[in-house]
Amino acid sequence: MSSQKGNVARSRPQRHQNTFSFKNDKFDKSVQTKKINAKLHDGVCQRCKEVLEWRVKYSKYKPLSKPKKCVKCLQKSVKDSYHIMCRPCACELEVCAKCGKKEDIVIPFNKEPEKTEIPESNLRSNHRSCRRNEEESDDDLDFDIDLDNTKDNQVD
């Protein structure tokens, strides 16, 4: 009986199990964190996309401060973190921009760059200029003269 004692599995309660998941923006509500969370990871394979999403989820993602050099065209045109190729080279060769392998690209690159945020000051000035343009156009459109009726009135 003593030989079976070592094979018996002990059932202990798990004491250190996490009760809630990690949230990367719980305490850090900065603009940079919001930009990182909103970033779309395009032009990469499924595995690289999962790696980048994990980095974002657990606050390990570090954005680039200045562009890196592309391994294909050797220009400083890589603007996405952890990527080794610029967008044009990756599109042309149809490879993952992060690992450089010829894998299925999950989300292809957009042809035109997206503007994620427009500063509020520009929005206000655009709003004011639009109002001015509307007021000016309203002034121009106040002249509703029907020329056919005036000629008929003059002839009579």
**Residue 29 exposed, middle or buried by CB count within 10 Å (0-12, 13-18, 19+):** exposed
Which residue's entry shows tokens 């002249």?
143
**Domain extents for the chain?**
31-106
Reported as a single tens digit per residue, the pLDDT across 27-36 is 878 898 899 9
Reported as a single tens digit per residue, the pLDDT across 92-114 is 999 999 999 998 888 888 754 44
- pTM for the full predicted model: 0.58
Reported as a single tens digit per residue, the pLDDT across 120-143 is 444 444 455 444 444 554 555 545
